Amino acid sequence: MSQLAFPHTHSALIEKPLQYVVEATYGTTPTASPSFTAVAIVGEIVPKVDDIEIDVRQIGSHLKYASAPMVSAAHKYGFTLAIKPFAIPFLKYGTEPPNYTTPAGTSAESLSFLLQYKQATGTAFMTTHFVFFRGSKCNTTNISVSAEGLVEVSMEWICREITTPSATSGLTTPTIVDFSGITTAPISNVDGGVKPITINAITYAVNNMVITYNNNLIPDPYNGTGLIEALNVGAIVIEGSFVTPVGQDLLLETALNAFPQTGVAGIYKFKAAVMFAQIVGLKLLSNDSPWRMGPTETKKNSFNWGCASAGLTTS
């Protein structure tokens, strides 16, 4: 007989898409008739919980203080998402600088995420459970696309708390999206067409395009709760890389060697009328361009770049 009297849970038992609602108050999920928006297309969710315990020691022993060897001081929460997107609104929570006047759709807003799934609780039967990721803001966003691949997005989120799974949601008449509401195909490398990158008005063939946004979030804890009480965007850093074959011209090599180098406009087209990256003040930072014996590969330039901004747009 198995030592386990209950079935295991897994990702196929997630009943609804991961979805979110905007918070009116940081860290508080709206409960009265909230309308959730699905995140699509999610391939992986990795929650992380850290219990911060402080060791207590007393002179006279090699060991920790027996009555209270460790004392709870705080909890830190976060999660990562792997997404194959077909639109940009959700991505902009990680890529759009905060707008404090009209925060909608920018990193100024905090979100509550809802995960609904089935699990057992010691018996052979499974029941629906709910987990909330409250007070969530995106810290880093990595967008990449390579030849013969799809657009891949990895997002790292920091949140105030991840609730213990519960058989009740605490929501009143919520609008929750079903998987049947997600039908659009994800963006492929072919959707960008030939020579999808434009640098200083010149288009180039490209492979392994990467854009990384780091919002350098500033978490502020205060005495009394052990949780984050405020979460704000810090100094935003946007960098990236791409590979392009040697031979079209020498404009990029010349720009990299220029001193001082002039920042230029760049555009990457992921999909017409759906997703563009509008890069402002692009400067090439380095180039890895090896010669391989054999030869085993053709010569390419692998540029790393930085910029002032890189907003996602639909045109």
Residue 262 host element (H or E): none
Task: Give the dihedral of Cα atoms 24, 29, 35, 40; nearest 10 deg.
Answer: 110
Residue ranges per structural domain of the chain: 11-53+74-313
Are the CB atoms for 163 and 131 separated by under 8 Å? yes
Residue 139 host element (H or E): strand 126-145
Longest dimension (CA), the chain: 74
What is the pLDDT at residue 1? 82
One digit per residue, the tens of pLDDT, for the chain of length 315 reads: 889 999 999 999 999 999 999 999 999 999 999 999 999 999 999 999 999 999 999 999 999 998 889 999 999 999 999 999 999 999 999 999 999 999 999 999 999 999 999 999 999 999 999 999 999 999 999 999 999 999 999 999 999 999 999 999 999 999 999 999 999 999 999 999 999 999 999 999 999 999 999 999 999 999 999 999 999 999 999 999 999 999 999 999 999 999 999 999 999 999 999 999 999 999 999 999 999 999 999 999 999 999 999 999 999
Say which amino acid occupies 47: P
What is the pLDDT at residue 66? 86
- pTM (2 decimals)? 0.96
DSSP code of residue 182:
-
